[in-house]
């Protein structure tokens, strides 16, 4: 073999089948080499699996002791206004009534779920709340108070304090649509929020 015939080491070899196609995993490994991804090279299937996990629907439930969904919606609207870090009410959030207190729910990614809990907790300064978050088989529970994230606790410990339908939602036996339309706090004006909260106090 002459120098001209030697394969370029930077170019992937063609598939031995002779059809001119390349081994996609080998090509992917070559492109990601040296990126600090660990000892084991990533394959295309690895990346697709991670993407599928990210796209799996997630459920967030902020459980409170607020008496009504209207009052909670008003509180969340004002809580957003009180925050100085720029976080906003996540799209798709709604408040609903339950026997154990109003809840704020939504199909939210984990960070957005914590944003919602922080906003809600900012409004409910003296009242603690619990954020439940579930994606697939993974469920977490986190305490919030006065706008600050507290400790993570075992969901099994605090699930007993919520209404049955909330537990069913978190366990996947009930869907958000089955819980009802609820109230979107982001659609409220400041005056509406104040009015709904004041009615709750009377």
Per-residue pLDDT of the chain (202 residues), as tens digits, is 555 555 555 554 545 555 555 577 676 666 656 554 555 655 656 555 554 455 678 999 999 999 999 999 999 999 999 998 989 999 999 999 999 999 999 999 999 999 999 999 999 988 899 999 999 889 999 999 999 999 999 999 999 999 999 999 999 899 999 998 999 999 999 999 999 888 755 4
- Phi and psi (nearest 5°) for 175? -105, 165
Which residues make Cβ contacts (< 8 Å) with residue 15, sequence separation at least 6?
Answer: 21, 22, 23
Which residues make Cβ contacts (< 8 Å) with residue 14, sequence separation at least 6?
Answer: 20, 21, 22
Look at residue 42 in the predicted model and tell me its pLDDT: 56
pTM of the model: 0.72
Look at residue 174 in the predicted model and tell me its pLDDT: 92
Q: Under a CB-based contact definition with an 8 Å cutoff, are residues 130 and 144 in contact?
A: yes
Give the whole-angstrom CA distance, residue 160 versus residue 63: 12
Q: Under a CB-based contact definition with an 8 Å cutoff, are residues 97 and 69 in contact?
A: yes
Look at residue 135 in the predicted model and tell me its pLDDT: 94
Give the whole-angstrom CA distance, residue 117 versus residue 61: 9
Look at residue 198 in the predicted model and tell me its pLDDT: 80
- Phi and psi (nearest 5°) for 84? -110, 0
């Amino acid at each position: 073999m002459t120098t001209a015939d030697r394969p370029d080491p930077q170019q992937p070899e063609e598939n031995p089948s002779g059809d001119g196609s390349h081994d996609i995993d080998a090509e992917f490994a070559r492109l990601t080499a040296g990126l600090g991804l660990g000892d084991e090279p990533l394959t295309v299937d690895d990346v697709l699996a991670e993407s599928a996990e990210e796209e799996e629907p997630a459920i967030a439930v902020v459980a409170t002791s607020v008496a009504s969904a209207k009052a909670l919606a008003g509180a969340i609207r004002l809580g957003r206004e009180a925050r100085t870090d720029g976080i906003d009410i996540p799209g798709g959030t709604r408040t609903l009534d339950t026997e154990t207190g109003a809840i704020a729910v939504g199909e939210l990614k984990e960070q957005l779920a914590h944003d919602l809990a922080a906003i809600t907790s900012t409004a409910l300064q003296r009242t603690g709340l619990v954020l439940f978050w579930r994606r697939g088989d993974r469920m977490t529970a986190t305490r919030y108070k006065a706008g600050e994230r507290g400790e993570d606790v075992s969901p099994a410990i605090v699930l007993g304090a919520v209404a049955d339908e909330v537990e069913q939602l978190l366990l996947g036996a009930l869907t958000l649509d089955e819980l009802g339309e609820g109230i979107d706090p982001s659609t409220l004006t400041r005056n509406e929020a104040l009015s709904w909260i004041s009615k709750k106090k009377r």
